[in-house]
Amino acid sequence: MMNVTEETIGRVIPDVIRVDQEQVRSHLDEVVRSTVEETLNGLLEQEAEQLCGASRYERSAERVDTRAGHYTRKLLTKSGEVKLQVPRLRTLPFETQIIERYRRRESSVEESLVEMYLAGVSVRRVEDITESLWGARVSPSTVSELNQKIYEKIEAWRNRPIEGQFAYVYLDGIWLKRSWGGEVKNVAVLVAVGVDADGYRQILGVCEGTKEDLESWRNFLRHLKERGLTGVKLVISDKCLGLVQAVAEFYPEAGWQRCVVHFYRNVFTAVPKGKVKEVAAMLKAIHAQEDRAAALEKAKAVQAKLEAMRLLRAAEIVAEGVHETLSYMAFPREHWSRIRTNNMLERVMREIRRRTRVVGNFPDGKSALMLVGARLRHVAGTRWGTRPYMDMTRLTEQEAEAASSPALA
């Protein structure tokens, strides 16, 4: 009789009862996935029966449509990828909340993949993240295809025709870093926002410029004009190099408003920190006047006071540039607070800076435009672009009054 010791039993039993945990997990995952697939297809069948007014082969006087086969569609779930047998009807459109949720999820997946790619996440890491979040790994080729697909969408949006007239146009630029010939270089992305005849804000354009210089602004304004930008009466911006000259070339009938906030900041560069609040109050008093003539008179008084305070450079900046900050006074008073600064566009650019900061250096030329364009397109579809920004009827009335005044005289 074999003498089996406790030590021998201890070595043998673990081998006997050892379980392949990976195989069990895989089997359970497949059971869950197939159950989800079966349940969803069952729900689709029920929806089709409700639309038809009868089950597939049922003869009924209440039937309003018949089946026309089905098509296969893949759906990514947390349990993995499932195949849906989506019914087709002969006359009625088959609309289902399952597919609608799929579309929303698909869009979310695409946006997340692009953000991960632009943020420098490795392809292997992208695969791990997508499997954790959505139950399926996304291949490197899928990431590449999605990036190309979204880039094409953004390019189509960037180059769409501009319809209608835009009295007020805001211009600004943002500096980003990108790889160019093995070197990291700064590149400017230029952005234009307009207020249309109904008072809604629209993203008019976004382009890459080598610099914020005359040639870059020329190319950008040419791009806007060729796409149909008309009706421009006032351009609001900071005093960027070459911008004012480019505006005069492409929109000679339009006025130019230098952003009041940026003008103040320029003055503050020549003011000691302890006197900034006092000087700020003096500058604000200029733009609190009832009209341009009164504002210019107030500016002279401010200039004299700055000279008395021995802030000679600050006085020079005021004397040289204050008239550029008063163009807004030729427009309806109700619009003044919205058109004397570039703050509206600055807030948009701040969001872009926040989103691009995590990327650091962009891997190529088009990726910077892709991320900025994607963010701007998203902003345009939010409440930012779907609610009125200002009432434009007062501008129409003012123009009508100006046109009729010579006849009345």
Encode pLDDT of 213-248 as tens digits.
Answer: 889 999 999 999 999 999 999 999 999 878 999 999
What mean pLDDT is predicted for residues 166-183? 82
Q: Phi/psi at 313 (nearest 5 deg)?
A: -65, -40
What mean pLDDT is predicted for residues 379-399? 90
Confidence of residue 185 (pLDDT cuts 50, 70, 90): confident
Angle between the N-to-C axes of helices 97-118 and 123-134, in degrees from 0 to 180, rounded to the nearest 10: 150
pTM across the whole model: 0.69
Asked if 84 and 108 touch (Cβ cutoff 8 Å), the reply is no
* pLDDT reading at 18 higher than 60: no
What mean pLDDT is predicted for residues 325-346? 95
Report pLDDT for 61. Answer: 76
Per-range mean pLDDT, top range of 108-122, 183-197, 265-279? 265-279
Kindly report which listed range (146-150, 172-176, 241-245, 315-319) carries the lowest average pLDDT score.
Answer: 146-150
Report pLDDT for 110. Answer: 57
Q: Element (H or E) spanning 339, and its range?
A: helix 336-339
At 269-301, the pLDDT tens digits run: 999 999 999 999 999 999 999 999 999 999 999
- Of residues 101 and 394, more confidence is placed in 394
Report pLDDT for 375. Answer: 82
Write the CA distances from 389 to 170, 339, 385, integer angstroms. Answer: 13, 11, 8
- Of residues 150 and 1, more confidence is placed in 150
Q: Element (H or E) spanning 166, and its range?
A: strand 166-180
Strand partners, 77: 80
Q: For tokens 């058109």, what's the residue?
A: 339
- Of residues 99 and 330, more confidence is placed in 330
Kindly report which listed range (13-27, 126-140, 158-172, 307-321) carries the lowest average pLDDT score.
Answer: 13-27
Q: Determine whether 250 is exposed, middle or buried from the number of CB atoms within 10 Å of its CB (0-12, 13-18, 19+).
A: middle
Report pLDDT for 65. Answer: 82
- Of residues 112 and 204, more confidence is placed in 204
Asked if 189 and 216 touch (Cβ cutoff 8 Å), the reply is no
Q: How far apart are CA 127 and CA 107, in angstroms?
A: 17
Sequence-distant (≥ 6) Cβ neighbours of residue 87 within 8 angstroms: 44, 45, 47, 48, 67, 69, 70, 94
Report pLDDT for 24. Answer: 52
Mean pLDDT of the chain: 82
* pLDDT reading at 354 higher than 50: yes
